[in-house]
Amino acid sequence: MRVFVTGATGFIGAEVVQDLIKAGHTVLGLARSDRGEAFLNSAGAEVHRGDLEDLDSLRRGAAASDGVIHCGFIHDFSRFQEVCDVDRRAIEALGAALAGSDRPLVITSGTGMGTKVPGEPSIEDHYNPNHPNPRAASELAAEAVAARGVRVSVVRLPQVHNTEKQGLVTPAIAVAREKGVSAYIGDGLNRWPAVHVLDAAPVYRLALEKAPARARYHAVAEEGVTARAIAEAIGRGLKIPVVSLSPDEAAGHFGWLGFFAGVDMPASSALTQERLGWHPTQKAGMIEDLDHMDWSAV
């Protein structure tokens, strides 16, 4: 299959590209820079120049492919609503190019979209079109293109990690370095799910190959790592104190990250493992990867 991949030069997308090629697929990767083009050439992928806001380039890439994996996202959480709207428009453009065919489209969302009961792990089959998180725009766009007959599925991501990056934990590290303390809110028992980047990549490929329309999958290895454990790992790495903050103190400390810092958002991947035959294989969890980071490079 010739697969158009957005975000092909990013943290997760680069691994998706490698996984697809190893499985025998051909990759057409979106690149917005010469550096990205060079990376894709070295990886053995074809190059399609453009970016997530160039909707014509997205439509052309999708039209030239047998399927699409959309894992690109503008990771500027200081303007979260705006970048979620960009993602919605990108999904609509990709879907428009695939309408009337059986070519698959796999998009990306967050595991928080599957939260049905507070305190219980989010599940794949739960979908709330009125979810207050702006990232709901991505799944609303998926529903819109599914209504046009597109075979679209959703991969929901937790905190994706290795020893260099860890999703929202990476900006938390930057805050801790700036403030001189590593903080959590209250008792710090709220949980964030996690997965190693090498385990996340195959979920996209399996969804591309197997998923029916409107299927949702969770690329989750650890259902929930506590905020306190994460803060303690950051404290060890940076050699700074670890402190508990009240909710009122947290807003001033975390900035935009405060929107997420106190949320309890565990997530299950039981249905994903059953339906895709996917099982995490990487031994290192999030805390172990944090403990093995090169902190001088952060």
Q: Which neighbouring-strand residues pair with 156?
A: 109, 218
The CATH architecture that domain 161-193+223-267+282-297 belongs to is Alpha-Beta Complex (3.90)
Q: What is the pLDDT along the chain (298 residues), one digit of tens a residue?
A: 999 999 999 999 999 999 999 999 999 999 999 999 999 999 999 999 999 999 999 999 999 999 999 999 999 888 999 999 999 999 999 999 999 899 999 999 999 999 999 889 999 999 999 999 999 999 999 999 999 999 999 999 999 999 999 999 999 999 999 999 999 999 999 999 999 999 999 999 999 999 999 999 999 999 999 999 999 999 999 999 999 999 999 989 999 999 899 999 999 999 999 999 999 999 999 999 999 999 987 7
Both tokens assigned to 145: 């293109």
List the domain boundaries for the chain: 2-158+195-221, 161-193+223-267+282-297
Both tokens assigned to 247: 């909710």
CATH fold of the domain at 2-158+195-221: Rossmann fold (3.40.50)
